[in-house]
Structure 1
C-alpha cells in the first residue's frame, strides 16, 4: 500500500497518464478506514500489489458515465476487475413489491482466493474536520453518517430475505461483505478549530489541510503551487508547471470575489524527470463555511 506524501521520484509519478495514476491510487492509496468491516489491505488487492507488471496494459480512461468522482471511482474498479479476470457484477438492485429497497455496489468472485465471493461497497470521499464533525465540502455529507449507513445498512443487504433468491439466481453465495473507502481527510490548519477523528478512521489516512480563504495568507506555506480541477482530485497530482504562493493568493482573492466553491491547491516538488509532484493538499474554503452563504 502507498502512503502520503509520496517521494517525488516514486515510480507512481513516472506513470504517464492521470488515469493510470488514478487507478493505482484507487487500489493502493491509503484506506480511509481501518476496522473489521473495512480493512486497509483486503485480500482482493493481492494482484494490485504487482502493479508495475501490468499497469502498461491500462491505456485510456473508460468513458465515464458521470463526472461525479464517486461514480468515476466505481468505474476505475470495474476496469481493474476486468483486467484481473474476476467475475463481477455491479449495481444489482433488490426489489420488493416493485420498489427498490437496496443495491449492491459490487459483487466479486476472486479467482485468486479459492473463488471467494465478496460484496463490496465502494466509496471515494473528501471530508473537512470541524470540531466534532467531518463534513463534505458541499455541507450535505458527513463522515459519521457515511460510516453508520455503510456498516448498518449497506453491508447488511445480503442478509435481507428479499436478496436471497436474487443472489442465488445470479450464482452468488456466502458473500463476505466489506467496504472499501478511499479519499482524503482535510485537517484544520487554524488551531482555533479542533477536529476529532472517529475511531474507525485509518491512522495513516491520506491527510490534507483546510483553511478559510481570509486566513490563507497566514497559513499557506511558501513553495510552488497548482490548483486542481475536480477530476484531478482522485489521486496525487503530477503536473507540468507551478505558480508561486503570491500568484496562488491573488487567484484565490479573485475566485472568492465571484464564486463560493472550494479551491483545491497542491504544494509541489519537482522530481528528477522534471515533473511537479504533489506533496501537500489544501482546501481553501469560503469564510462562512460550514454555514450556508
Structure 2
C-alpha cells in the first residue's frame, strides 16, 4: 500500500474512532447527529499534503455520511453572502431518510484546566489557551446555527425546495480530551468520558519522563491512534525538538512509550 494512502487511512480511522463530545442529551441546547457505527469504512480519495486538519476532517465526515444508506448530502460549505460581503458559512445540509438537517461539523482537542472557570464546560481549553469549549458552544448557538434563518440563506434553501423552519439543526462535535498528568477524578456529567485520549504536562516537568521514548506527529496526524512501529526518539532528542516549539508558545501533541511498553498521547504545554 502506498505510504501516503496508508497515512490517510490511519487519519480516517482515527477520526472514525473519535467519539462524540456528548450523546443523547443536549448541551447548550445543541443536539448531536448520532450515527450507527459502520465497520470497515475505507477512505478512497487522495488529499493534498497541505490540507489543514479542520478541512481534512470535513472530507472525512462527508465520506462517512455518503456511506450511510439513510443519509443523502444535499449541499456542503455553503457561503452565505450579501452581494460581495460574506456573512458566514453553513457546513452541510443533508436528508436523513426524509428529514432535512442543517449540520455543523466540529473536531477539537481540549485540555482540562481545573483553575479555569467553575463549571464542567468552562474547564476545557485549547492546547495554546486561545480557544475554549465555552466559546465554541456559544458561537455555535448564537452565530452558526441561526445563520440557517438568515434572509440571505433563503435562496440556497429555495434551490432545494426547503424552508428553514422545516429543517432540523444538529452538530457533529467530536473531540479528543486530555487531563493533567496524575489528575484526580475529573467530573464528566455532561461530556463523554470516552473522549479522554491522554494527559498533558507543563514543559517544566517533562524531565520525569527521561527514561521514555517519544514521537512528535505532524498536526494532520494528531487524529491517528498511537502507532508502535515508528522511529521513537530518545529523551534528549525529544527535548531538543520540543524546546524549539515551546519557545514559540506552541503546545505539541506527542506520543510517549514508557519503559514497560505502554504508549499514550500527551501534550506538552508552555503554560503552567
Structure-2-length-normalised TM-score: 0.76
* Corresponding residue to 2:195 among 190, 196, 205: 205
1:105 deviates by: 0.8
Q: Does 2:30 align with 1:51?
A: no
Quote the Cα distance in structure 2 between the aligned partners of 1:188 and 1:149.
27
1:250 deviates by: 1.3
Cα deviations by residue, 1:238-267 (Å, 9 ceiling, x for unpaired): 3423537xx1x3123212443323232224
Who is 1:189 aligned against?
181
Q: How does 1:1-293 map to 2 (within 5 A)?
A: 17-34=6-23, 35-36=25-26, 37-39=30-32, 42-43=33-34, 45-46=35-36, 49-52=37-40, 54-55=41-42, 58-63=43-48, 66-84=50-68, 86-96=72-82, 98-110=84-96, 114-130=97-113, 131-132=115-116, 133-173=123-163, 174-189=166-181, 200-218=190-208, 220=209, 225-241=214-230, 243=232, 247=234, 249-260=235-246, 261-267=250-256, 279-286=263-270, 289=271
Quote the Cα distance in structure 2 between the aligned partners of 1:89 and 1:162.
16
1:162 deviates by: 3.4
- Structure 1 unaligned segments of length 5 or more: list them: 1-15, 270-275
Quote the Cα distance in structure 2 between the aligned partners of 1:127 and 1:154.
20
Cα deviations by residue, 1:217-237 (Å, 9 ceiling, x for unpaired): 23x496654322212101313
1:172 deviates by: 3.7
- Is the deviation greater in 164-173 or in 202-211? 164-173
Taking structure 1 as reference, are residues 195 and 70 closer, same or farther at Cα in structure 2, changes over 3 Å only? farther
Contact 1:187 1:195 in 2 (8 A): no
- Is the deviation greater in 226-235 or in 160-169? 160-169
- Structure 2 unaligned segments of length 5 or more: list them: 117-122
Cα deviations by residue, 1:147-192 (Å, 9 ceiling, x for unpaired): 111122212222334323431223344221111112212211265x
1:282 deviates by: 0.5
Partner of 2:254, secondary structure, is strand
Quote the Cα distance in structure 1 between the aligned partners of 2:60 and 2:14.
10
Cα deviations by residue, 1:68-96 (Å, 9 ceiling, x for unpaired): 21111011122333444723311112223
Contact 1:38 1:181 in 2 (8 A): no
Partner of 2:223, secondary structure, is coil
